[in-house]
Amino acid sequence: MEDRIPVITGCTAVGKTEAAMFIAGSRPIEIVSADSRQLYRGMNIGTAKPSADEMKKVPHHMIDVADPDTLLSAVWYAEKAMAAINHIVERGAIPLVVGGSGLYIMSLAGLLDSLPSRNDDLRMALSSIENQVPGALHRLLTSLDSREAARTGNKDMIRLVRSLEIALLSGSKPSELKQGGKPDSRFRFVYIEKDNTALKQGISTRTSAMLSLGLVEEVKVLLNSGYSRDPVLGATIGYTEIIDYLEGQCSLQEAARAIETHTWQYARRQRNMFRRLPGVISVSNDPVEVETALFGERRTHG
């Protein structure tokens, strides 16, 4: 395993942290978080951030590295996470990547193309054009890159805006730039799978637990500290719904149901992404099975 970088991934609430802590019980593990929201200070309950006790027992990286007033990109994450991995290896420990942010994992593993970073001003301008003239963005993309336009369709505004952003900032056709990156063969992926019933129950249980632990108060503290919806809180499941509740747009019960619904929708998108990881091994959430899939062997745990 000296030349391998093990990765535990899976949808929200499948038991990734539990498996990682189990493995760390018998191996010199340091955990590198691959959660795009655990990067932010103050966002603890809503991101299911590891507890202080867990972080004391096992070194963690890429947690609490920024304030929630700047949206950090997958490219930024990959650079910082790889630096952490290299330092862990230099210390003679094993870097274990753990998390469910598929784009961040793919960027770290070299599975994404080198494309222009997001430009919020351009995105706002493009969205404004579409609002004024529906269908304009798809026609514009067709004129610039007909193959990308056919692949994107005219309904997916997120992909349309991103494709136009790439085309306008790079001066090249997005379809020609998207070649699948430069995969780093050192990464070994294990995907924890749960059936729909168990996953939905896990999401419901986690949502209730977050509310019981004080998610509403956590959001109040963040808002009172000067942070607003944009750019991070309003783009994070759990936080945007609680902000809606605090603004009187819905009841707390309605917010909880929305969190569950949006988390389930996100989990389905996660599944599709994780199943495309090269050489990915699908396992149950049994920590022993996860460890065996990653390392090809078991160690005695105390």
240-259: pLDDT as tens digits: 999 999 999 999 999 999 99
b/e sequence 138-167, b meaning 16+ C-beta within 10 Å: bebbeebbeebbeebeeeeeeebbbbbbbb
Q: Kindly tell me if the per-residue pLDDT of 301 is higher than 80.
A: no
Q: Kindly tell me if the per-residue pLDDT of 154 is higher than 80.
A: yes
10, with CB counted inside 10 A (0-12, 13-18, 19+), is buried
Helix axes 196-213, 215-224, angle to 10 degrees: 60
Distance from C-alpha of 155 to C-alpha of 195, rounded to nearest angstrom: 29
Alpha helices in the chain (DSSP H): 16-23, 52-57, 74-90, 102-108, 120-132, 136-144, 146-152, 157-170, 174-177, 196-213, 215-224, 239-246, 252-274, 287-295
32 with 95: CB under 8 angstroms? yes
What integer pLDDT is reported at residue 95 of this predicted model?
98
Higher pLDDT, 9 or 156: 9
Proportion of the chain above pLDDT 90, given as a percent: 83
Domain extent listing, the chain: 5-112+181-295, 120-177
Give the mean model confidence (pLDDT) for residues 45-59. 96
What integer pLDDT is reported at residue 197 of this predicted model?
95
Distance from C-alpha of 169 to C-alpha of 116, rounded to nearest angstrom: 7
Distance from C-alpha of 189 to C-alpha of 282, rounded to nearest angstrom: 9
What integer pLDDT is reported at residue 252 of this predicted model?
98
DSSP annotation of 116: P
Tokens linked to 280: 């990915």
Distance from C-alpha of 77 to C-alpha of 13, rounded to nearest angstrom: 22
Distance from C-alpha of 132 to C-alpha of 169, rounded to nearest angstrom: 22
- What DSSP element (H or E) covers 10? strand 5-10
CATH number for 120-177: choose from 3.20.20.140, 1.10.20.140, 2.40.10.350, 3.30.70.141.
1.10.20.140
Q: How many residues in total does the chain contain? A: 302
Q: What is the CA radius of gyration of the chain?
A: 20
What integer pLDDT is reported at residue 298 of this predicted model?
66
Higher pLDDT, 198 or 3: 198
Q: What is the pLDDT of residues 267-285, one digit of tens each?
A: 998 998 898 899 999 999 9
CATH number for 5-112+181-295: choose from 3.20.20.70, 3.40.50.300, 3.40.640.10, 3.50.50.60.
3.40.50.300
What integer pLDDT is reported at residue 299 of this predicted model?
67
Tokens linked to 278: 């090269």
